[in-house]
């Protein structure tokens, strides 16, 4: 099939458009998460997202509208548990993540009617993204990117040296809350693209690829953005032409780019 | 003389453990304070408390005449932490990016780094003789170079007070001497108040005009010579195996 012909499909255009925005948002946010050793929060929140989608389907609401507030609350809960109880951050993620999955499975079992719908969110499919979801993805991506831009130096300082950041008046606690909430929103957006199981890959892989090459933080953000964008565009294209699942293909392109970069560094 | 930092009967606890107990002192503008004491005496805790990083359980601290809650001009205080261990070594920051972080205390939301700020960073790096490192990655520098970059970060906001927490640990003897001469120059020529935590007691004797000696509580605050000749000095020196009477030999 001709590539130009492929680009004429409306569903491909929508997938490219929404996917690009979400991918760039994930890469920008992922860089902060990876550097703060919070990479797995994406994994934990995506599991909560699974439970939240089940709630939405159970009560007959549009799942993502339910998922956004529920995942945001869960992200704050992770932060609270790791701050106030004698629990490490990764354990807090594990607790909240398990509750999300368990809740989703119970609701799926009780309802006996929406198993197929719910499980379609496990692996996502950007090729069936609706107009509403495109608008939601683009708008929320804009908001997340704008907030990263407005708080860029606070995020930079708190990630580079949190203790010093406090001495310059950076409200590091508020910055942690902001970062966690932005991650929650981004995870929900990413679920449609790569699914619950692979969300963390979209957050982690572009960031770790960029960190292999970048000589400075802004270059790292740009390289991460480019890697994420290429992964989504080529992932959609390959999945279409080779008839393989889109989300998994996007992740595999990401892994391939990471491998190429590692090889390039080894050769040089 | 203007009092810049004043602590009145402050105590600090970590959980149930009291780390500092009933400490009082008043630091005046232009002072060069050597903050000394044995390991575990609470020196770093005291500095972090002054900087507002740790809460006090009793007493009051005023900075430039204001309580820590009322005080917002944190750019007036430059801080060089003890180790670079709190720094994220994977972080791909350039030297220039690290230095401009010292200007964030003066910025209002949304914080932006302008070309004027970059020029200020360049000027400080030039003064310290490390402008050639400006575009290098911080993580790729040697311990001594990193220390100088962090000093540039502390100096870029043109602070009135500089707080150093064992700044010379990563430095060889020659760099250490240069470092102390630089601090002395900042104190004498620019009237910057210095608070220096160090185990280099010889250097305290040579450069500081007052000593704040603590061992979880205040042992001595004031003139160094008074401390050396006082009865308080002897048991304190036994603990640190070094002697501060050095200043008379230097």
Any A CB within 8 A of B114 CB: no
Instruction: Report pLDDT for B90.
Output: 81
Which of B104, B129, B158 marks a domain boundary? B158
Tell me how far apart the alpha carbons of residues B11 and B169 are, in angstroms, rounded to a whole number.
Answer: 28
Alpha-carbon distances, residue B158 vs A183, B77, B151 (angstroms): 37, 9, 12
Same-domain pairing of B206 and B126: no
Confidence of residue A150 (pLDDT cuts 50, 70, 90): very high
Same-domain pairing of B128 and B139: yes
Would you say residue B249 has pLDDT above 70? no
DSSP tag of B137 = B
User: Are B49 and B243 contacting, i.e. CB atoms less than 8 angstroms apart?
Assistant: no
The parent domain of residue B148 ranges over 89-158
B136: Cβ contacts below 8 Å, ≥ 6 apart: B94, B95
CATH number of the domain enclosing B210? 3.40.50.300
Strand order in the sheet with B210-214: B77-80, B161-165, B193-197, B32-36, B210-214, B218-223
Which of B123, B158, B193 marks a domain boundary? B158
B105 contacts in chain A (CB < 8 Å): 167-169
In a domain, B103, yes or no: yes
> Is the pTM value of this prediction over 0.95?
no
A215 contacts in chain B (CB < 8 Å): 92, 94, 135, 137
- The number of domains in chain B is 2
Mean pLDDT of A221-238: 96
Q: Say what the ipTM of the complex is.
A: 0.86
Tell me how far apart the alpha carbons of residues B249 and A131 are, in angstroms, rounded to a whole number.
Answer: 82
In a domain, B188, yes or no: yes
Partner-chain contact A161 B88, CB within 8 Å? yes
Tell me how far apart the alpha carbons of residues B213 and B201 are, in angstroms, rounded to a whole number.
Answer: 11
Same-domain pairing of B173 and B237: yes
User: Are A260 and A266 contacting, i.e. CB atoms less than 8 angstroms apart?
Assistant: no
Q: Which residue has the tokens 């003890």?
A: B82
CATH number for the domain whose boundaries are A3-260: 1.10.3470.10
Tell me how far apart the alpha carbons of residues A178 and A164 are, in angstroms, rounded to a whole number.
Answer: 19
Q: What is the pLDDT of residues B43-98, one digit of tens each?
A: 999 999 999 999 999 999 999 999 988 998 999 999 998 766 678 878 999 999 99
A101: Cβ contacts below 8 Å, ≥ 6 apart: A47, A50, A51
Closest CB to A35: pick one of B72, B77, B88.
B88
Calculate how close chain A gets to B98, using CA atoms only, in Å.
8
Same-domain pairing of B192 and B149: no
């Amino acid at each position: 099939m001709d590539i130009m012909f492929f680009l004429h499909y409306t569903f491909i255009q929508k997938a490219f458009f929404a996917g690009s925005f979400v991918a760039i948002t994930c890469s920008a946010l992922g860089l902060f998460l990876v550097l703060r050793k919070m990479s797995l929060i994406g994994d934990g929140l995506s599991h909560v997202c699974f439970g939240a989608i089940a709630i939405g389907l159970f009560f007959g609401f549009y799942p993502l509208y339910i998922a956004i507030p529920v995942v945001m609350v869960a992200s704050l809960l992770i932060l609270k548990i790791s701050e106030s109880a004698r629990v490490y951050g990764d354990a807090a993620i594990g607790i909240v993540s398990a509750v999300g999955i368990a809740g989703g499975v119970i609701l799926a079992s009780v309802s006996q009617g929406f198993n197929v719908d719910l499980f379609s969110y496990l692996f996502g499919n950007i090729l069936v993204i609706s107009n509403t979801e495109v608008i939601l993805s683009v708008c929320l991506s804009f908001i997340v990117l704008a907030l990263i831009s407005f708080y860029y130096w606070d995020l930079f300082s708190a990630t580079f040296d949190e203790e010093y950041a406090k001495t310059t008046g950076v409200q590091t606690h508020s910055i942690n809350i902001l970062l966690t909430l932005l991650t929650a929103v981004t995870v929900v957006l990413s679920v449609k693209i790569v699914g619950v199981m692979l969300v963390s890959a979209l957050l982690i892989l572009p960031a770790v690829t960029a960190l292999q090459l970048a000589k400075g933080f802004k270059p790292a953000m740009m390289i991460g953005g480019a890697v994420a964008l290429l992964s989504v565009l080529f992932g959609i294209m390959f999945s279409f032409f080779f008839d393989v699942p889109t989300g998994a293909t996007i992740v595999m392109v990401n892994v391939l780019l990471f491998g190429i970069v590692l090889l390039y560094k080894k050769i040089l | 003389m203007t009092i810049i930092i004043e602590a009145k009967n402050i105590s600090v606890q970590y959980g149930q453990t009291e780390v500092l107990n009933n400490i009082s002192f008043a630091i005046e503008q232009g002072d060069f304070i050597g903050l000394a004491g044995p390991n575990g005496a609470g020196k770093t805790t005291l500095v972090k408390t002054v900087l507002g990083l740790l809460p006090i359980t009793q007493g009051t601290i005023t900075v430039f005449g204001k309580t820590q809650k009322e005080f917002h001009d944190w750019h007036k205080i430059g801080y060089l932490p003890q180790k670079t261990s709190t720094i994220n070594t994977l972080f791909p920051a350039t030297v220039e990016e690290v230095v401009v972080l010292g200007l964030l205390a003066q910025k209002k939301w949304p914080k932006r780094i302008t070309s004027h700020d970059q020029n200020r960073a360049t000027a400080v790096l030039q003064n310290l003789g490390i402008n050639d490192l400006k575009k290098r990655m911080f993580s790729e520098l040697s311990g001594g170079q990193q220390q100088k970059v962090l000093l540039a970060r502390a100096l870029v906001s043109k602070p009135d007070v500089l707080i150093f927490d064992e700044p010379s640990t990563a430095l060889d003897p020659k760099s250490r001497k240069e470092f102390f001469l630089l601090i002395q120059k900042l104190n004498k020529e620019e009237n910057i108040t210095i608070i220096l935590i160090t185990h280099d007691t010889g250097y305290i004797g040579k450069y500081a005009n007052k000593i704040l000696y603590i061992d979880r509580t205040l042992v001595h605050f004031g003139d160094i010579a008074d401390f050396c000749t006082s009865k308080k000095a002897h048991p304190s020196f036994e603990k640190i195996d070094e002697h501060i009477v050095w200043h008379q030999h230097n």
